[in-house]
Structure 1
């Protein structure tokens, strides 16, 4: 079943943009409820809850919301990741009531995978309880949407001190404390990506084997949604840069060269996201490699956009603040959260050893 996501209304995006500007000024790390509620009213977080959404359409949706605000796009990205896992990976008796609540706008979801670093607490793990249910105790970090989400797929250890890799669907409404003092940076602060401490949070479902989070094509699509969020931020920087350069009212070769380079980067974003969507839809044997290449190319094009904008605009927009400065700091931080180089090394080495199925004889 293919569902087309609801169109993104320009009025909704304008309101979201304004609300996230106000939220950023607060700098308090809270969940951006007003902006999220705007998305809920529009039906955007319900995308895919009735069945598998078209991959390209869903990526375009994440990109548009991220163009309004990268941090809010990050929360939506994680929510849609979780919605797809409910649809595809959970038993019907568990998934259906949850999906109904998502469709009604009553549940916000996420996927939390990062373990704490040294001195940040004991990694989250499963424990039994007196009532026979599984519980989660311990710590996760970089938990986007913390404080505003109701459920999350959490990557936990099977026991205290055990190996990581078990995927658990966890109720976040009780026995969960959000530590908003941990995330102190300015970049991505609107995403509420905090340290979370579990003290016996209820598990609604747990995978019966490790590696469930990494199953394809869903893991690849998770990564592509993130890349679409990066692209949306780059779209915002390009639009703001064009407006500023046009406002100068001059015909300058260096300005023209900068714009051409940014347009080239945008075309690269378009093509690679399209290629990634096709790869996920086909779900062929080289899916993981193709999505790795797409994500890396998108990240490179985003960095080109940011660097070129800084070169042509100079320091004023970054010193004075505003959309260019905030989107840039969000994207710089967001890109750092995803190390793609080890994945690229694996693609390159496997190609050297096994060959590339896409190679063509140049003769």
Structure 2
């Protein structure tokens, strides 16, 4: 029998699922694509309105345990997938926001978790910025505080993120995590160049030189950011966002073929069938990855290997889908600024995650010597 707290959590989770569905239905019926260079602020505000930014917190901190329980993880998968459908750029920022919460959940003190919860309940968007610019970010311990120096590049949502989890290198060469305020407009820099896609993610750089933080802003211990299984297991969330982009591409493909009166052509039907197979394959892999990421009774290496295989499978399915859409629609799929062209370009850029070959070979090395996790994992 559920106690009152468990009942309340389940009821709140069910209500939140309804809110996600209603928001997605509104996004889908609008069928709009945000301007390519404009951050999707209206969509972000819609997520704020349904409480999505702080639903990720633990129940004790006023959230819905989306980062903690397998049931919450299934809801998080839906949230990320639906957001990716509406905007891959917003999906990237939301996934980064989730990553911050998850890392603070794992490595933060109770006081740090409480402070983060208070910030998120005010509607703050958090970001995770770990790619260094020139010069890279370093950190020095002074008498009562720490002083940062250097630049972070590829900072998604740089004009909208107000709290960033960053990595910084000490003078001993150790990498540590820190939570740093990012509300200095004068510190925002242009990005590394104009990206082919994902332009509305607002990716830029941020100069942390002479930013002073307290010891309370240091998260965990040296090396925690790369600690497994979390470092690799969290990749399932990016795959969920990419899956949403695949969903959108298939809808755009079907609609254009229907509008042209070509949907019953046997060759087009063959491509649609292949596209749906790729979509379902990716969906099953994402669900499997999410399941093992929340499993408490699996070896960490098995979790990492499974999520890495899922990541590669989703990438492959998405790239095959893009080719199918291009062959189905022909030159019209390459008309710059058209919805299908924008989504394809965003998806191709989004899929370029680091070290895919390493992820695949390390997963293969594990499963050469180990069986696939059981269904009860």
The TM-score range, normalised by the shorter chain, is: 0.7 to 0.9
Alignment coverage as a number of residue pairs: 346
Determine helix, strand or coil for the equivalent of 1:195: strand
Runs (4+) of structure 1 exceeding 6 A deviation are 16-20
1:267 equivalent among 262, 280, 300: 280
Written as runs of structure 1 = structure 2, the 5 A alignment for 1:49-128 is 49-51=57-59, 52-53=65-66, 54-105=72-123, 107-116=124-133, 121-128=134-141
Determine the structure 2 residue equivalent to 1:197.
Answer: 207
Q: Find 2:371's aligned residue among 351, 357, 360.
A: 357
- CA drift of 1:309 comes to 0.6
SS in 1 for 2:326: helix
1:151 to 159, 163, 186: 163
Distance 1:175 1:145, change over 3 A: closer
Partner of 1:314: helix, strand, or coil? helix
Q: Is the 8 A contact 1:317 1:325 kept in 2?
A: yes
User: 8 Å contact 1:183–1:195 — kept in the other structure?
Assistant: no
CA contact (8 A) 2:92 2:241 kept: yes
Distance 1:71 1:144 in 2: 9
Question: In structure 2, which of residues 309, 325, 328 is the aligned counterpart of residue 293 of structure 1?
Answer: 309
Q: Which residue does the alignment assign to 2:198? A: 188
Q: Decide whether the 8 Å contact of 2:107 with 2:219 is kept in 1.
A: no
Q: Is the 8 A contact 2:292 2:306 kept in 1?
A: yes
CA contact (8 A) 1:20 1:190 kept: no
SS at match of 1:148: coil
Task: Indicate if the aligned counterparts of 1:269 and 1:298 stay in contact, CA closer than 8 A.
Answer: yes
Once the two structures are TM-superposed, the CA of residue 348 in structure 1 deviates from its matched residue by: 2.4
**TM (normalized to structure 1)?**
0.87
Structure 1 residue 276 corresponds to structure 2 residue 284 = no
Q: Deviations over 1:213-264 (max 9, x none)?
A: 2334533442111111111101100010011111222421110110011110
Q: Deviations over 1:177-205 (max 9, x none)?
A: 12125331240111112122211223352
Contact preservation (8 Å) 1:139, 1:195: yes
Of residues 346, 355, 361 in structure 2, which corresponds to 1:330?
Answer: 346
Confirm or deny: 8 A CA contact 1:19 1:35 kept in the other structure.
no
The CA deviation at 1:47 is 2.1
Q: Within 2, Cα distance between the matches of 1:16 and 1:349? A: 42
Report the counterpart of residue 47 of structure 1 in structure 2.
55
Q: In the aligned structure 2, how far is the partner of 1:287 from the partner of 1:10?
A: 33
Which has the higher mean CA deviation after the structures are superposed, 212-221 or 178-187? 212-221
Supply the distance in 2 between the matched residues of 1:16 and 1:184 (Cα, whole angstroms). Answer: 28
| Residues 141 and 17 (structure 1), Cα distance of their counterparts in 2 relative to 1, 3 Å cut | farther
Q: SS state of the match for residue 199, structure 1?
A: coil
Question: After superposition, where does 1:316-327 map in structure 2 within 5 Å?
Answer: 316-327=332-343
CA distance in 2, matches of 1:259, 1:202: 55
- Please say if 1:309 is aligned against 2:321: no
Distance 1:340 1:320, change over 3 A: closer
What TM-score, normalized to structure 2? 0.84
Partner of 1:137: 149
Change in CA separation of 1:351 and 1:84 when aligned onto 2, cut-off 3 Å: closer
CA positional deviation for 1:289: 0.6
Residue 307 of structure 1 deviates from its aligned partner by 1.1
| Offset at residue 50 of structure 1 (A) | 3.1
Output the CA distance in 1 between the equivalents of 2:90 and 2:228: 26
Distance, in Å, in 2 between the alignment partners of 1:128 and 1:175 is: 25
CA distance in 1, matches of 2:211, 2:131: 17
The Cα offsets for residues 302-321 of structure 1, whole Å up to 9 and x where unpaired, read as 11111111111111132153
Cα distance in structure 2, aligned partners of 1:289 and 1:198: 35
**Aligned partners of 1:36 and 1:243: how far apart in 2?**
26
Answer whether contact 1:49 1:103 (CA < 8 A) is retained: no
| Residue equivalent to 2:240 | 228
Specify the SS of the correspondent of 1:183. coil
RMSD of equivalent CA atoms: 2.6
Q: Is the 8 A contact 2:147 2:210 kept in 1?
A: yes
